[in-house]
Amino acid sequence: LERWRWMSHEIAPPLIVVNIPEFRLHSLDEEYHQVLSMKVVVGKAYRHKTPVFVSSLSFVIFRPYWNVPISIQLAELLPDIKKDPSYLAEHDYEVVDSAGNVVSEGPVSSEIMEQLGTGSLAIRQRPGLKNSLGLIKFEFPNQFSVYMHGTPATVLFSKSRRDFSHGCIRVEDPVALAAWVLHDKPEWDVERIRAAMDGEETIRVNLKKSIDVLIVYTTAVATEEGEVHFFNDIYGYDAALERALRKDYPYPR
């Protein structure tokens, strides 16, 4: 209840709500009725927590590139490249400069390796079935560089606890979510969405009206059917808040 008290009152339906400890996404229509509900994978409890925030979704990208964050480039990809110089080519990665120009698509030379280590060159993954973002990306501006996307690693959705990402949110059914998000553009039906996913081009589709996105952390949820569900405090936020509330009223009486 204390955490809900902090929530912005300026949001309006339709809405997309991602509840981190529930590992689920819910879409709500103009009457606040649930239309979609699907599993999600969120950030790891250690070092890669998905942040809590509010933003607005205004466009969808089909067949996106993945621009690898510098932290992943240095900590995870460079060690793999050192072991196997052809690692990038095998996983559909390419080396680009600051302007996005492709520098290398094949084996990585020692000179390129050095520039990757300093961050003067970057790594991105080409669109396709191997792409870590899957074939659809849902982007909304925020200071954390967090977004929603599909994934080729669908096996993780079978897990009961699904905190495996670096902070971004992987959605179980990106086609259904894209169809709901683009419902005000009837030409973008499921058939066209699948055609865009299977195509050759990267396509950006702007929404006619942006949709608010709430990333929340709620360990108790009451459903429309009158049921209450409780979820584990995976990030320890409830425990920290409880300790703070035990210290009595935080403002001068």
DSSP 128-159: STT-TTTTEEEE---TT---EE--S-GGGGGS
pLDDT of residue 3: 85
Q: Torsion over CA of 77, 81, 86 and 91, rounded to 10 degrees?
A: -10
Q: What is the pLDDT of residues 209-237, one digit of tens each?
A: 999 999 999 999 988 889 999 999 999 99
Q: Say whether pLDDT at 108 is over 90.
A: no
Task: Tell whether the model's pLDDT for residue 253 goes beyond 70.
Answer: no
Q: What phi and psi, each to the nearest 5 degrees, are found at residue 194? A: -65, -35
Q: Which of 51-60, 82-91, 128-137, 231-240 has the lowest mean pLDDT?
A: 82-91
% of residues, the chain, pLDDT over 90: 75
Using CA atoms in the order 197, 200, 201, 205, what is the torsion angle rounded to 10 degrees? Answer: -20
- Pair type for strands 34-43 and 228-230: unpaired
Q: Examine the pLDDT at 118 and tell me if it is beyond 80.
A: yes
Q: CA 16 from chain center: how many Å?
A: 13
Total count of residues recorded for the chain:
253
Query: What is d(CA 8, CA 17) in angstroms, rounded to the nearest whole number?
Result: 13
Asked if 77 and 68 touch (Cβ cutoff 8 Å), the reply is: yes
Backbone angles phi, psi at 229, to 5 degrees: -115, 140
Cα radius of gyration (the chain): 20
User: What is the per-residue burial (b if ≥16 Cβ within 10 Å, else e) of 179-202?
Assistant: bbbbbeeeebeeebbeebbeeeee
**CA 234 to chain CA centroid, nearest Å:** 18
End-to-end CA gap in the chain: 21
Question: Is 230 strand, coil or helix?
Answer: strand
Whether the pLDDT of residue 250 is over 80: the answer is no
Confidence of residue 245 (pLDDT cuts 50, 70, 90): confident
66 within 8 A of 139, measured Cβ to Cβ: no
Secondary structure of residue 3 in the 3-state scheme:
helix
Q: What is the tens place of the pLDDT at every residue in 5-41?
A: 888 777 889 999 999 999 999 999 999 899 999 999 9
Local confidence band at 247 (pLDDT 50, 70, 90 cut-offs): confident
